[in-house]
A and B are shown apart, each in its own frame.
Chain A
Amino acid sequence: MTESQGIMGKGVARADARRLVAGAGCYVDDIGAPGALHIAFVRSTHAHAAILSIDTAAAACMPGVVRVVCAGDLEGICKPMQVAMPGLNMPTASLQYPLAIDEVCWQGAPVAAIAARSRAQAEDAAEHVLVEYEELPAVVDAQQALTPDSPRAVLGREGNMALDCTFGNANVAAGFAAAATVVEQRIVFDRQTGVSLESRGIIATFSPLSGELTVHMSHQSPFQMREVFSELLNLPNHRVRVVCPDVGGAFGLKLHAYPDEVAVAAIAILLGRTIRFQADRLESFLSDTHAREAIGVARLALDSAGRFLAFDVEALSGLGAYQPYPRGSVGEGLHMAQMVGAPYQFDNFRARLRAVHQNKSPTGAYRGVGQPLACTLTETLVDRAARAIGMDPAELRRRNFLPAEHTSRTTPAGLEMGAVSLQPCLDTLLAMMQYEDLRREQQRLRKQRVYRGIGIASFIEMTAVGAALYGANQIAVAAQEGCSVRLEPSGTVLCHSSATDQGQGVRTGIAQIVAQALGIGAADVTVRAGDTASSPVGGGAWASRGMAIGGQAALLAAEELRGKILELGARILKTPAEQIELADGGLRSAANARTLSLAELANIAYFRQHQLPGGGCPELSATRHYAPQGFPYLTANGIQGCLVEVDIETGMIGVLRLWVVHDCGRVVNPLLVDEQIRGGVAQGIGGVLYEHCEYSESGQLSNGTLADYLVPMAGELPDIEVAHVASVAAETALGAKGVGEAGTIGAGAALWNAVNDALSPLGAAME
């Protein structure tokens, strides 16, 4: 066994971690930029208002101020943003300007920007910008936004509807008519936000001489942003470079083109110099995309044997004032509506989604995008049905799961579903939980008026999404990932990946894949990512794609390089390539026992070609890309379990234990995968118990600090036991599926079910 064999599947520590523990990480705000001007934004204080005038005279005279920028200053430099998805039947979206023109539609919308020599000076001046507003009627509640006489969230719109669509087949009524039991569940999902600990930040430099815009920003998708800046600022995309350095958490919120960030790039062009902006926490709460706000009503029909017949879903999604450019935000509602019932076999399905605009912060991508909502609706329904028919909830799931042998099919909801392993995941979970013992303990404690609840939640996770999502809607977000590898003269490998890393450890997983293919140690592979000037073109980090797609591209590139190394080695060692073993950083000929280190091979190839038998100039590099083909996404699945204790006097919910069983196919690095899952669980629990963007009736966010918007802390979480059912994905040679969203998708539902289970002897339930 050599060092490199079996390196995939090991809990290899991250090379990046050594920098991070020394405080040597380099986030956007850590980058020095001599002479840069700092931006502070004047943001709307109203949810909806007309801008009558902006007086910048006093602000412009404040110390350190170089320029006060309003919308008119950016005219001709920056186009407005407008989300369009030709694949969906959406009314034309409103134009969104980097700085508001005439109207503000959410509290926090950027109105003016102060460019000053320090952030403090810019903030001082911002207080002296006088904006005269005339308040307009605001619509805050999503249900109100649906009504014909509701105020319009954005003036000029015919209505507030952003999307109204239905899915499924025509027979749902027949399914319900034939039912022995029908259960219904209504859930109001609160607004959440991602709360990356590092706020959004950007440094933009424009050189009028070269016409090049260089942007360093805290973002998940540098190539997307290159296209966005190129299009909005009218620059050819090869004149735009986007670099994402260390990113301090992202979770989806750093996937969008924010008006304030676009304004910074436009101001860099306006002033021809370096401009920087780092959001503070208060403006992060106001201006980062929010997510999740929805109302779901779902019904489930069962026959007398407890088999599922039909699901029916009504979903209402509150989008905020605009959909963020370029991806939009109807995905939350679409997933929520269409993925109800996803783990189960049934014949009839109908869902209607309505997504509406309101005068609140725009919503956008957040870990799981709609899938946590679909899972919560589904799994609370299943538990409700189990109680209604007197069957154990685990058994009811077992009877209705999509069978494990499924390869792929299209569900009645119109989902193309790959192979799943729900049954083995359930079996593993029940064994981990010691489910029967827990049930007995629960019964015993109830007699002492201790109310414990056990909840489980199965889920399907769409990962590694291909071109069908954005490409089909003509949105320039790469569906592929790419990887370039080259043998360095030192005998190590330098690798550039388009998959970006916000702490997930994608770079380490890629190093393991490349190391194993080339017979070297993971530490001998350097992986760089996040720079459009050096990375192959690819998507970055979204929809749990890093390992599944970026890893597959790395495997293809490493195998191609391996072939080149063996071919060259065969010439040097005078032995057939198929008789050469590549291991421990070198080549060994089985035919004549001659050896050659990779460093020696590289030295001959790069510096001493004259010694090469047969001459020539060898290529010791390879670039390969991979995009999902023949399947729309990779279907991961899993199940979670939760044990809670509810104090029925105070209503306090204590989360005692958590379990997760997940199938992400091949696990490249269990150390990284397990903590990804745990972090996702924490955010899912946060969504149910702690997190809520609270708005007043007039559309004012009332809890925009970390002291008021609570996220789970260490003392509020128990240990989380994680296990894997590894059904290696048949779709790719690597066989990995995504994992980043699994924890978040199932955690809320398991917790919700556990609480309702605890309350069930009292006839109470949480809605």
Chain B
Amino acid sequence: MSQASKSSVDVAFVVNGSAISEQVAPRITLVDFLRQRLGLTGSHVGCEHGVCGACHVRVDGQVLRGCLLLAVQADGAEVQTIEGLSSSGEIADLQEAFVRRNAMQCGFCTPGMLMIAADILARREVLSREAIRDALSGTYCRCTGYQSIVDAIEEVALARHGIAA
């Protein structure tokens, strides 16, 4: 234990609006820290090498891979996870569209998918289906074939711009 505590680092950051101050091992990834230390298990670990996007979290407004960031790199940052986005109601319309259109099957990719979808929707223009597909192409879904996901994002984009689907 003494060896572990010697090699730990103090970090302080804000997670979903709450200030966190912890000692962490330098090698622990942000997603492992969120899941194991804070119990925020909505961010998923799919590949641990930055490909699948299941671990997407928002760090200072940017959607990043939680498996490619160390917890210590988030020091001083504002981190938002799917739990935060859910409870704030920020993506309630998007979640509702995902449910109604069944834009998921097993749900493992869904939090990461919603993170990136929220990012797409924050853009000013309404993207074409092809552009939505391109924007989703760093986030794997092995179950759906993606179509219902594109449907849901497109529907919310149109609704937010006051255009009937």
Interface of A with B (CB < 8 Å)? 11, 13-14, 16-27, 29-30, 32, 63, 120, 194-199, 246-251, 280-281, 502-505, 671-672, 675-676, 678-683, 705-707, 711, 713-717, 719-720, 743
Contacts and interface: CB of A to CB of B under 8 A. Distances in A.
B147 A720 contact: yes
Given A17-B102, A719-B150, 8 more contacts: A23-B86, A23-B111, A25-B107, A25-B110, A249-B143, A678-B148, A705-B51, A706-B140
Interface string B125-165: 00001101110111111111111111000000000000000
Nearest to A246: B107
Contacts of B28: 120
B49 A679 contact: no
Contacts of B144: 675, 678-679, 682
Given A249-B142, A720-B147, A714 B136 contact: yes
B83 A22 contact: yes
Contacts of B133: 714-715, 717
A706 to B, nearest CB: 4
Contacts of B104: 17, 20-21, 503
A22 B99 CA distance: 10
Contacts of A21: 86, 95, 98-99, 104, 107, 110-111, 114
B145 A248 contact: no
B16 to A, nearest CB: 11
B106 A23 contact: no
B63 interface: no
B55 to A, nearest CB: 11
A547 to B, nearest CB: 14
Contact of A675 (B25, B41, B140, B148): B148
B106 A17 contact: no
A20 B137 contact: no
A679 B109 CA distance: 14
13 contacts: A14-B102, A17-B99, A17-B102, A23-B82, A63-B4, A120-B28, A197-B44, A249-B105, A503-B107, A504-B105, A682-B146, A711-B142, A715-B137
A675 B147 contact: yes
Contacts of A17: 98-99, 102, 104, 107
B145 A715 contact: no
Contacts of B35: 29-30
B150 to A, nearest CB: 7
A248 B44 contact: yes
B133 to A, nearest CB: 4
A144 to B, nearest CB: 33
B145 A717 contact: yes
Contacts of A199: 46
Contact of A706 (B25, B47, B82, B147): B47
Contacts of B78: none
A439 to B, nearest CB: 25
B146 to A, nearest CB: 4
Contacts of B101: 671
Leading 10 A-B pairs by shortest Cβ distance: A23-B42, A20-B107, A678-B145, A248-B108, A503-B105, A503-B106, A23-B82, A714-B136, A715-B137, A30-B41
A717 B89 CA distance: 31
Given A671-B101, A705-B47, A502 B106 contact: yes
A719 to B, nearest CB: 6
Residue among B52, B99, B130, B139 facing the most chain A CB atoms (10 A cut-off): B99
A246 B105 contact: no
A643 to B, nearest CB: 16
A24 B111 CA distance: 9
Nearest to A121: B4
Nearest to B95: A21
Interface residues of B, number: 60
A430 B138 CA distance: 35
Contacts of B150: 714, 719
Contacts of A505: 102, 105
Contact of A679 (B4, B130, B145): B145
B54 interface: yes
B48 interface: yes
Contacts of B47: 281, 705-706
A675 B110 CA distance: 15
Interface in B64-89: 81-83, 86
B25 to A, nearest CB: 8
A22 B109 CA distance: 12
Contacts of A743: 145
Interface in B1-15: 3-4
Interface in B37-59: 39-52, 54
Contacts of A681: 145
A246 B145 contact: no
Given A13-B100, A21-B95, A719-B129, A27 B145 contact: no
B147 A678 contact: yes
Contact of A14 (B42, B52, B99, B143): B99
A746 to B, nearest CB: 14
B4 to A, nearest CB: 7
A23 B105 contact: no
A717 B146 contact: yes
A715 B134 contact: yes
Contacts of B46: 197-199, 281, 706
A705 B130 CA distance: 27
A281 B140 contact: no
Contacts of A680: 145
Contact of A18 (B48, B99, B132, B134): B99
A22 B101 CA distance: 16
Nearest to B49: A705
B41 A23 contact: yes
A713 B133 CA distance: 8
Contacts of B106: 196-198, 246-250, 502-503
Nearest to A31: B41
Nearest to A284: B47
A29 to B, nearest CB: 7
In this complex, the member of A249, A250, A681 whose beta carbon has the largest number of chain B beta carbons within 10 angstroms is A249
Contacts of A717: 133, 145-147
A120 B27 contact: yes
A26 B111 CA distance: 13
A353 B7 CA distance: 59
Contacts of B98: 17, 21
Contacts of A32: 39
A647 to B, nearest CB: 18
A325 B162 CA distance: 56
Nearest to A32: B39
Nearest to A681: B145
Contacts of B4: 63
A24 B42 contact: yes
A29 B4 CA distance: 24
B145 A675 contact: yes
A754 B143 CA distance: 24
